Chains A and B, each alone.
Chain A
Amino acid sequence: EDKVVQSPLSLVVHEGDTVTLNCSYEVTNFRSLLWYKQEKKAPTFLFMLTSSGIEKKSGRLSSILDKKELFSILNITATQTGDSAVYLCAVGMEYGNKLVFGAGTILRVKS
């Protein structure tokens, strides 16, 4: 069975801290790994990773994929209260355009 596991399930940090969110996966037909941020409504797209070792960056957020060890991390530096959200990791499958989601990490940034 295809599985995506995120850790930690939740964490609380103070503004200015740096956080690292983890995502490991065991799937039969891996194509890509995606990160989404979900606040009250729909998930918003952050990154899609297909190649190992190539860091993707967007402002204070960055992510990298290790296809040998089957995991990805999402880093957020200098956190702000607006970063408070659920961060979802999803694996895109080789066939059928399917995404398998992890349970998410709940991040709360305190001011």
Chain B
Amino acid sequence: DTEVTQTPKHLVMGMTNKKSLKCEQHMGHRAMYWYKQKAKKPPELMFVYSYEKLSINESVPSRFSPECPNSSLLNLHLHALQPEDSALYLCASSQVFHEQFFGPGTRLTVL
């Protein structure tokens, strides 16, 4: 299996909702990442997990809460989001210090 999968593909939520984004890889990668990408902009790093431990948090607001239950899974829990949080959320994985492989993304709309 050589891909990163993400669910759901699309998500529409209100500002009071709680939802979760999921990411899975079976390539044996030990680093996993969450990125946020706005239209016509490059991906912006949010979080990095190395060996299931959070190693980088790029000063992301607490309404975004990452979780890495095991080496294959990465979740992003969303709560009380704002309309400006609407974006494409990309998950990626890699061997440590190697090229990152991206999933197809979740298109999030916050109403």
Binding stretch for chain A, among B59-67, B76-84, B94-102: B94-102
* Cβ-defined contact, B42 with A101, below 8 A: yes
* Cβ-defined contact, A92 with B102, below 8 A: no
What residues on A are CB-neighbors of B103 within 8 Å? 42
What residues on B are CB-neighbors of A88 within 8 Å? 42-43
Complex Cα distance A47/B54, Å?
Answer: 27
- Interface majority SS (helix, strand, loop, mixed), chain A: strand
CB-nearest residue of chain B to A42: B102
How many chain A residues sit at the interface, stated as a range, is: 20 to 34
Q: Determine whether A34 belongs to the interface, using a CB cutoff of 8 Å to chain B.
A: yes
Complex Cα distance A42/B102, Å?
Answer: 6
Chain B residues packing against A (C-beta within 8 Å): 31, 33, 41-45, 48, 50, 55-56, 90, 94, 96-105
13 contacts between A and B (CB under 8 A): A36-B102, A43-B43, A43-B90, A45-B99, A45-B102, A48-B99, A96-B55, A97-B50, A97-B56, A97-B94, A98-B48, A101-B44, A104-B42
Chain A residues packing against B (C-beta within 8 Å): 31-32, 34, 36, 41-45, 48, 88, 90, 92, 96-104
Closest 6 A-B residue pairs measured CB to CB? A101-B42, A42-B102, A48-B99, A97-B31, A41-B104, A96-B56
